[in-house]
Structure formats: structure tokens, C-alpha cells
Structure 1
């Protein structure tokens, strides 16, 4: 799974999904007994985290004022 965020709409959608996954993961207690479904959720969470960070970094660069 790999995500690329290029628009504000995609960003807000990804941010919402990331928040949902984060809340779900926090409720899980015994990580050693996780099955494939939970592992896929962790992979999606990680990929979204990376995509969000890349997009936010790009937006920061675009909004910087260079002297």
C-alpha cells in the first residue's frame, strides 16, 4: 500500500482515515495476537503517516518566503 497526496481534498480524507486508524489501534491491547487484518491496518496507518508528512512538508516548502 502506498499513498500519494496531491490535493487538499486527498489530504483531509487521508487525515480523517489516519485518525480513525489511530483510535482503533489504541484500543487494541495484545499486539502479539494480531491477525492479518490488524497487520494490514498497521501498514495502512504507517503509509498514511508517511504520505501525510510528505504532503505537509511540500506545503511548508511552498509557503516559505525565500529572501
Structure 2
């Protein structure tokens, strides 16, 4: 899984992920820090069950079969 690093809202420098903490049920809070201006930004991110993702469901529905 790749975490997208947003640009700093103040100076547009790519931020760095500082920490991930639990948020409300079903969410994480990701804290990003700007290395140029030290701005701190927090983003609430919905957690996705990897077994229910579109890519996994497509794989389950593909022509992949157990060996015979």
C-alpha cells in the first residue's frame, strides 16, 4: 500500500508522513509534516478492508481456479 503524501498547503513542498494514530471507528488520522516550513497537517482517512476492495473482489471473480 502506498500512502499519498500531499503538498504542504502553505508552501507546496511534498510533506512527510510523521505518524498514524487511530481515529473514530473505521478511520485513521495521518499526520504530515512539511520539511521546508514545519507546517503540520492532519488528514482523517477511512480504513478499507483489503478483502472487500474492488481489486480483491475482481480477483475472486476472475477465471482463477484451483489446480485439478
TM-score, normalising length: structure 2: 0.26
Higher RCO (CA < 8 A, seq sep 6+): 1
| Higher fraction of strand | 2
TM-score, normalising length: structure 1: 0.26
| Higher fraction of helix | 1
